[in-house]
Amino acid sequence: MSESASATSGRPERAASANGPSGKKERGFFGRIVLFVRQVIAELKKVVRPTRNELVTYFSVVLVFVLAIMAFVGLLDLTFGQLVLWIFG
């Protein structure tokens, strides 16, 4: 292990303190909440909603996949049930 890795406490270091060289003042509790809400709204504006055609395609793919898994699990259940009846029956 290198010296730099063993000398740290394992926690990431901050690039600059809150009142450090950048000169930014630390936000209060409500200021952080407002900042969080603004960032959430900004991220939601980036969301691309699927078209109707894409939505129908995605729905169909999920439905077919779920039906296939249901059939597979049902077949396994039937097989193991018959096996148990044959062994203990």
Average pLDDT, the chain: 84
Instruction: Read off the pLDDT of each residue in 55-66 and give the average, rounded to a whole number.
Output: 98
In a domain, 31, yes or no: yes
DSSP single-letter state for residue 19: T
Instruction: Please give the helix or strand (H or E) that residue 59 lies within, else none.
Output: helix 52-88
Domain count, the chain: 1
SS3 89: coil
Q: What domain range is 80 assigned to? A: 23-88
In a domain, 14, yes or no: no
Instruction: Read off the pLDDT of each residue in 33-46 and give the average, rounded to a whole number.
Output: 96
In 3-state terms the chain splits into helix, strand, coil percentages (rounded to 5) of 65, 0, 35
Nearest to 24 by CA among 37, 11, 14: 14
pLDDT at res. 22: 59
In a domain, 61, yes or no: yes
Structure tokens at 35: 């900042």
In a domain, 39, yes or no: yes
